[in-house]
Amino acid sequence: MKHPRRSLIALLVAAAAPAAAASPAHAAAPHAPAPAASTPQVLPTVVVQGLSYGHGALPSAVTVLGRRALTEGQPQINLSETLNRVPGLIVNNRQDYAQDMQMSIRGFGADSPFGVQDLRLVLDGIPLTMPDGQAQSQVIDMPMLGGVKVIKGPFVALYGNAAGGVLEAWTRPAPRRPEATLSNWFGAWGTRQTVLSGGARSGAWSGVAGLTDMRTGGWREHSQATRQQFNAVLRRDDGGSDRYSVVVNALNQDAQDPAGLTRAELEQNPRGVAPAILSYDTRKTARNRQIGVSWHHRFDAADAMQLALYDGTRRVVQFLPFSGNFGTSAGGVVDLRDAFGGARAQFTHAGELAARPYRLAAGFDYGRENEWRKGWINNLGTQGGLRNDQYNTVDNFAQFVQAHWQLGHGVELSGGVRHDQVRFGSNTASDAPFDAGSSGGAHYASTDPVVGVLWRIAPGQRIYADYGHGFVTPTAYQLAYRPDGQPGLNFALQPMHLRSAEVGWRGRAGALRVDAALYHVDTDNQIVVYKSIGGRTTYVNAGNTRRSGLDLGLHARLPADLHARLAYSLIDVQFVGGPYAGHAMPGVPRQQLDSALSWRPRAMPGLYATLDWQLRSQVWVDAPNSAAAQGWGVLNASLGTRQHAGRWTLHEYLRVDNLLDRQYVGAVVIADSQGRYYEAAPGRNAGVGIELTRGF
């Protein structure tokens, strides 16, 4: 593992240098997640399985957020700050950097104990989701974001074996003229984030890079964290038949883990922790490195080819709140070393059928993950003897075809099919205390078709309907431990198969924009948390689920320079058959409302003020629905201004969260065996941000 790490460091330096050295030149149109074919989007085009659809063309629920919506007036530390304005998407801040954000789309991924599962995450065209379906959202560096696209519904199946939803993120484009930015955020509990970023264009080359350093003492006891990130994108596009891109990302994070609280502990001291947390010094360190390259070649006006390669390493060491020196336990310290990579090839063709234009795409995806998993005894916060030593592999090979046909009279037909084969393997080393019968493997495969129709009934008015099948395999973590406590992986766990239907409407009426969708999803072999013990979680299949819901988004321009937005989610997920028949899915609030009123006076350019209000209904903490975290409502406010003087731009802003000082639970730990379900959210807190940009 040492040699790949050294080579990746060299690549980080090599990728950053051209962006820093670039000189001013006339720039092409900036990169952004837009549908226009002429926009120089290289990596995002590579990542999208099949055709690259824009916001208006895909016959499915799609939400696009630009840079201002994602970052303005925000600390720019956690995705939970802004992504809840996407209907159907729920992101919880656990106040625990050791476990990442809790992210779900229409209920998929809601019970993840850490990281993101059941969803597909992509950053600058490089998959953040591993071949098994697990991802870390903290790799996405918020201050560097230029845009996010969230895709929901049946067409998500064309992205792979994490068919609950897709989140594609883009780094902000290189500026037309060279510039550098220094920004700082100062918040409560010693929270500080410093960002140094810049970019430039020179001829056919463009590049942008950024360094982020975040530190916090944490709102809760034993929740200190530090995080350093590097993100760079280098592109070459001379306007000819070839385009090239290089993307590099690096993450270092060290975080204490406060874990959850019982109801009694929550009421007594919501900032406290259980005694075992301190005794065993629970914490996690994470190191993630990724690099991706892509090449887009256009043969002629009708035919094009895209090739992409990516490679990376990940190291995670986690100290759990127990020793792990008992029975057949795999230990109280988890030590993971991952090497992963993949390739993608796609050929696209445009033509006419029955005098109507069509587009066709076909290609393949391959991903590989090698994992060296060790378990050690936790001797009250120090690493002890070896308990587990495994070498695990995941291979994902997929082929896909997708087509889009304009039938005329504003009607467009889209469809596709994807075939995935996912193989897991595990071998226990001879030096492991428990090796007999603990090796094995599993093979999952699925062929998933989707079809949809979009009708442009009038300018700015579109309705659509789609149907399709999807596929969600267990992740390596869900397979890691057997519910019966025996050694070896949980290969009895079966993948989930989805059947999804959706109808929607996107329209404009004067100053009002509406985006609405109704959906229904039947899921076989629903994977649920069986038990969570001190951060170690086991899973089982629990029959089928039936989910239905409504996504509603509204944006309006009002008199007096006011702007309003609203995102409403109704998510009803019920078990059908199995041991939990009639119960609701844990971790999923039935309703969420995210709304805001903003003021941008034209008489005072650069000034803005925003009030946002978020409501959440109760959340069950386990599949038997034995307890719940109560619903809540929170009001936040921000005020900022920008000044320009020559080549300098200064942006200052103030933010107050939980303005009314409500006490509530921000996230839950699903099925905790000791009843420590609750992760409390902070009371009223404030911070200030300062951003200084210099053009050259």
In order of their start, the domains of the chain are: 2-30+38-695 (2.40.170.20)
Token duo for residue 141: 């560096």
CA gap 326, 329 in Å, rounded: 6
User: Six-digit token pair at 544?
Assistant: 């089928």
pLDDT digits (tens, 9 = 90+) for 331-390: 999 999 999 999 999 999 999 999 999 999 999 999 999 999 999 999 999 999 999 899
Residue stretches of the chain with pLDDT short of 50: 1-56, 436-437
What are the C-alpha distances in Å from 616 to residues 19, 38, 187, 667? 43, 41, 25, 11
CA distances from 332 to 256, 282, 641, 676 (A): 15, 10, 49, 18
Say if residues 378 and 415 touch (Cβ distance below 8 Å).
no
144 three-state secondary structure:
helix
Contact 446, 53 (CB under 8 A): no
Of the chain, the end-to-end C-alpha distance in Å amounts to: 41
In eight-state DSSP terms, residue 145 is: E
Q: What is the H or E stretch that residue 18 is in?
A: helix 2-21
Going by C-alpha positions, the residue among 35, 93, 40, 41 that lies closest to residue 64 is 35
In terms of DSSP bridges, do strands 62-66 and 145-151 run parallel, antiparallel, or are they unpaired?
antiparallel
3-state helix, strand, coil in the chain (%, to 5): 10, 55, 35
Residues 445-479: pLDDT tens digits?
Answer: 999 999 999 999 999 899 999 999 999 999 988 99
Q: What is the pLDDT of residues 560-605, one digit of tens each?
A: 999 999 999 999 999 998 899 999 999 999 999 999 999 999 999 9
